[in-house]
Amino acid sequence: MKKVERVQFILDTLENLYPEVPIPLDHTDAYTLLIAVLLSAQCTDKRVNLITPSLFAKANNPSEMVKLTIEEIREIIKPCGLSPFKSKAIFNLSQIILEKHNGQVPETFEELEALPGVGHKTASVVMSQAFGVPAFPVDTHIHRLAVRWKLSNGKNVEQTEKDLKRLTPIDLWNKIHLQIIFYGREYCPARGHVVENCPICKAIQL
């Protein structure tokens, strides 16, 4: 199977299996999505969704968040891990959003990535899912599958993002990255992967 055929087969399979893909992180707007994505670093989406209701009940916007202390935020988000770093980032980015962006989450990659604790992947999720701007967020799971399917050489997530953008239509980026996440969880896990149970790997026989 040639690479172009492999890419099309993968896209068709993902679309057939996941014609509708919900955003895995519970949120109500750009700000709550930003906080949820920040919390998801080295933490499962499932755990984040258990923690954010408590946090957002106290503060679901920047002005309410800065009324909390960093220690109060840390106590709530502790089960997500990296709580000292994340609590400071949440407090500080909320202050910056209030002071520099009139309380609104900025809508450019540059401004998002300038916020504390917000890297390119987090910015990409917010840009794609909150604002509908084409982006291809690559986390460790997408990176792993792209390498497994030989869509990228796997040197780093930055290269994987470039490769996936080059191989797929721009109007599908925002959906494909979610489809790959769901597919990886259901059929193509890092451990205990059974090729015969994985429609893509089974078909392309890598």
pLDDT at position 30: 98
pLDDT at position 2: 86
pLDDT at position 206: 53
Mean per-residue pLDDT pooled into runs of 10, the chain (206 residues): 92 97 96 98 95 98 98 97 97 98 98 98 97 94 93 90 97 96 94 93 82
CATH number where 101 lies: 1.10.340.30
Last residue of a domain, one of 75, 107, 129: 129
pLDDT at position 204: 86
**CA–CA dist 35, 21 (Å, integer):** 20
| Number of alpha carbons in the 13 Å side-chain half-sphere of residue 164 | 30
121 is an active site residue? yes
Residues 64 and 107 in one domain: yes
Residues 18 and 107 in one domain: no
Radius of gyration of the chain (CA): 18
pTM of the complete model: 0.91
139 is an active site residue? yes
Q: Which domain holds residue 168?
A: 3-22+135-204
> Which of 86, 139, 163, 175 is labelled catalytic?
139
Residues 112 and 139 in one domain: no
The rounded Cα 193 to chain-centroid distance in angstroms is 22
**CA–CA dist 31, 90 (Å, integer):** 10
**CA–CA dist 84, 74 (Å, integer):** 6
Strand, coil or helix: what is 174? helix
> Which of 26, 45, 58, 121 is labelled catalytic?
121
Provide the domain count of the chain: 2
pLDDT at position 155: 85
